[in-house]
């Protein structure tokens, strides 16, 4: 796992206040942290949410000479991770017994709608005070591999997040719910699995009015795109194929226009599947709903094949991507191993984080050089990649290079172009490596047979494997549980093998990165045997 030390430290702009209701409200619907994001992230086009670049937190605001600094840090942490709730706007909103039954196949009796009485007390619901521990390793020194320290002494500080799951009391009557699902950004294995499980769980609660908004946020404004009615019958087998039943797109209308559309359509539960940018859009929608005093729950489900969402063990699609990448790496190895002085180059996804390239290299055992965005490298020179490739050809006769798409961008000419989501259009590092390898070995008079494989779209389009299928199923279920529990402006993820809810601002400040000092990166280096290319 990469380091999360850049997000576990306190925000120096936050006063050290005891956790009270007034403090909590500051971190719910009208969160000042949102106001510190660049203005274009919270207003205007949703498409500009793609790269949230809020400054990293530092520990400069903590007075470590204060004997109570640890307690104050934990109070600030609890306030920051407090989940926004409908009762922040509607204090008198009455909770009702959950219609999600833990013991019966059907959650409702024949008198439904309007009948919510329970005839027995069921155990198995999640208490609102249940927590999941964010960190489980005590680092005795900041120099320990992968150390995540708050103070110079690496003091152990407990950091808790809210446990996900069904609550005994809910804040929506199922017969009054109109739920909508959207999928944004690029394709990712598991989208259909999450859609399917959201629909199934909503129906178990008793919701009858479920729709899909086609082609992401664009579907809220494009008059040619109509809602897709969803039911268990419609989604029953969609997880057997890749892609998204609802389609995907980047960009979209202004936040105010989206909320106008929500009001017109009567939608009061919105499930948003997407990455950092999509979540920033969801958070802005949540705040606009709060501003208008609308009873709407906006729930995110992190969708990023790159696995670059903060605080989470992994995101759906990642395991499938690593598994499918083995096919490309194995093909590159066979091509390289079967040729005289063969070199196979494989480019994998990873704009700003190299988790797929690292894990795929580690699991394949066939990669000699792994290049990721977090670790700078020289391509030329006596300690560069080309020099090591020459050594590999001389000693073992072939080589395989695995590179993340965002690696080595400093070597390429910048275009300053952006896509519809506001993402900077990257140069093609794979083609650059292929061309530079051919050029170098021609200059030194050594034969080299270079094969280049880019499996990006093949990987994105496949169905989820078993591991991701389970993850998607539980994420979809917990997204619905969170909405019925009255939360909004939150996302759900896997944290230390447990499912938890997070306020959206806490996971979108910047992408999660591979820590070059982490044990996992060290393991990858041990597997490849590559030197430092600096």
Domain of 436, CATH number, reads: 3.40.50.460
Do 309 and 360 lie in one domain? The reply is no
Q: What is the mean pLDDT of the chain?
A: 87
Residue 3 predicted with pLDDT over 90: no
Residue 42, domain member (yes or no): no
State residue 103's pLDDT score: 67
Residue 31, domain member (yes or no): no
Do 302 and 327 lie in one domain? The reply is no
Residues 331/438, Cβ–Cβ less than 8 Å: no
- For residue 87, say whether it is annotated as part of any ligand binding site: no
- For residue 462, say whether it is annotated as part of any ligand binding site: no
State residue 419's pLDDT score: 74
Kindly give, in sequence order, each residue whose CB lies less than 8 Å from that of residue 146, ignoring residues fewer than 6 positions away.
1, 3, 137, 139, 515, 517, 518, 519, 520
Distance between CA 397 and CA 336 in Å, rounded?
A: 9
Is the sign of the CA dihedral 213, 216, 217, 223 positive or negative? Answer: negative
**How many independent structural domains does the chain possess?**
2
Do 330 and 270 lie in one domain? The reply is no
Out of 76, 88, 193, 306, which one is annotated catalytic?
Answer: 306
State residue 416's pLDDT score: 74
Domain boundary among 409, 431, 463: 463
- For residue 306, say whether it is annotated as part of any ligand binding site: yes
Do 290 and 143 lie in one domain? The reply is yes
Do 235 and 301 lie in one domain? The reply is yes
Residue 59, domain member (yes or no): no
Dihedrals phi, psi of 298, to nearest 5 degrees: -110, 115
Q: Is the peptide bond preceding residue 275 cis, with omega within 30 degrees of 0? A: no
CATH number at residue 206: 3.40.50.450
Domain boundary among 448, 463, 478: 463
Residue 16, domain member (yes or no): no
Domain boundary among 410, 430, 463: 463
Q: What is the DSSP letter of 56?
A: P
Distance between CA 310 and CA 76 in Å, rounded?
A: 18
- The question of whether 130 is a catalytic residue gets the answer no
Residue 236, domain member (yes or no): yes
Do 293 and 344 lie in one domain? The reply is no
State residue 421's pLDDT score: 67
Residue 10, domain member (yes or no): no
pLDDT in tens, 7-57: 333 333 333 333 333 334 433 454 444 433 333 333 333 433 333 333 333
State residue 104's pLDDT score: 58
Do 439 and 495 lie in one domain? The reply is no
Buried b (16+ CB within 10 A) or exposed e, 43-52: eebbbbbbbb
Residue in 266, 246, 262, 243 with CA at minimum distance from that of residue 254 = 262
Do 324 and 304 lie in one domain? The reply is no
State residue 50's pLDDT score: 37
Do 452 and 485 lie in one domain? The reply is no
**Domain span at residue 202?**
71-101+124-314+464-508
Q: How large is the average pLDDT for residues 500-504?
A: 98
Do 297 and 444 lie in one domain? The reply is no
Do 487 and 358 lie in one domain? The reply is no
Tell me the pTM. Answer: 0.87
- For residue 23, say whether it is annotated as part of any ligand binding site: no
Residue 212, domain member (yes or no): yes
Residue 180, domain member (yes or no): yes
Buried b (16+ CB within 10 A) or exposed e, 238-265: bbeebbbbbbbbbbbbbbeebbbbbeee
- The interaxial angle of helices 385-395 and 429-443, nearest 10 deg, is 60
Helix (H) or strand (E) holding 202: helix 191-205
Do 361 and 403 lie in one domain? The reply is yes
State residue 423's pLDDT score: 75
Distance between CA 138 and CA 144 in Å, rounded?
A: 10
Determine if residue 293 is left, alpha or beta; phi over 0 gives left, psi from -120 to 50 gives alpha, anything else beta: left
CA atoms within 13 A on the CB side of 54: 26
- Coil, strand or helix: which one is 116? coil
pLDDT in tens, 377-423: 999 999 999 999 999 999 999 999 999 999 999 999 877 777 766 77
Residue 142 confidence class, pLDDT cut points 50, 70, 90: very high
Distance between CA 368 and CA 199 in Å, rounded?
A: 45
């Amino acid at each position: 796992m990469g380091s999360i030390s850049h997000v576990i430290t306190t925000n120096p702009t936050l006063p050290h206040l005891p956790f009270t209701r007034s403090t909590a409200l500051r971190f719910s619907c009208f969160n000042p942290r949102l106001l510190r994001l660049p203005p274009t992230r919270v207003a205007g086009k949703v498409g500009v949410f793609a790269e949230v670049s809020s400054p990293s937190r530092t520990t400069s605001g903590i007075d470590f000479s204060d004997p109570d600094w640890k307690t104050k840090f934990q109070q600030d942490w609890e306030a920051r991770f407090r989940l926004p709730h409908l009762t922040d706007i509607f204090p008198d909103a009455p909770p009702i017994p959950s219609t999600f039954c833990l013991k019966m196949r059907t959650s409702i009796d024949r008198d439904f709608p309007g009948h919510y009485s329970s005839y027995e007390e069921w155990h198995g619901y999640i208490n609102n005070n249940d927590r999941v521990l964010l960190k489980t390793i005590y680092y005795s020194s900041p120099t320990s591999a992968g150390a995540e320290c708050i103070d110079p002494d690496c003091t152990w500080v407990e950091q808790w997040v809210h446990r996900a799951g069904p609550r005994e009391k809910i804040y929506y009557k199922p017969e009054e719910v109109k739920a909508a699902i959207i999928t944004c950004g690029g394709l990712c294995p598991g989208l259909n699995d999450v859609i399917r499980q959201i629909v199934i769980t909503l129906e178990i609660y008793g919701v009858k009015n479920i729709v899909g908004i086609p082609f992401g946020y664009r579907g809220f404004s494009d008059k040619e795109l109509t809602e897709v009615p969803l039911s268990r019958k419609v989604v029953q087998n969609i997880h057997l194929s890749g892609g998204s039943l609802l389609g995907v797109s980047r960009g979209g209308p202004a936040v105010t226009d989206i909320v106008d559309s929500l009001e017109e359509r009567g939608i009061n539960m919105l499930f948003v599947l997407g990455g950092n940018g999509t979540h920033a859009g969801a958070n802005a929608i949540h705040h606009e709903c709060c501003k208008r005093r609308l009873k709407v729950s906006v729930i995110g489900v992190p969708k990023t094949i790159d696995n670059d969402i903060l605080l989470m063990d992994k995101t759906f699609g990642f395991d499938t991507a690593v598994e499918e990448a083995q096919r490309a790496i194995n093909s590159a190895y066979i091509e390289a191993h079967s040729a005289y002085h063969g070199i196979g180059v494989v480019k994998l996804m990873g704009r700003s984080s190299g988790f797929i390239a690292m894990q795929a290299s580690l699991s394949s055992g066939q990669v000699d050089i792994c290049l990721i965005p977090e670790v700078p490298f020289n391509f030329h020179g006596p300690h560069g990649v080309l020099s090591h490739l020459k050594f590999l050809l001389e000693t073992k006769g072939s080589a395989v290079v695995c590179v993340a798409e965002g690696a080595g961008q400093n070597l390429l000419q910048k275009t300053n172009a952006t896509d519809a989501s506001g993402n900077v259009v990257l140069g093609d590092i794979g083609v650059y490596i292929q061309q530079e390898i051919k050029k170098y070995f021609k200059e030194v008079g050594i034969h080299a047979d270079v094969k280049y494989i880019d499996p990006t779209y093949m990987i994105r389009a496949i169905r989820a494997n078993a591991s991701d299928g389970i993850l998607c199923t539980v994420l979809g279920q917990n997204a619905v549980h969170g909405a019925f529990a009255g939360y909004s402006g939150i996302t759900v993820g896997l944290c230390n093998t447990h499912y938890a809810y997070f306020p959206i601002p806490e996971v979108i400040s910047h992408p999660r990165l591979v820590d070059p000092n982490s044990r996992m990166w060290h393991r990858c280096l041990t597997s490849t045997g590559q030197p430092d290319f600096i």
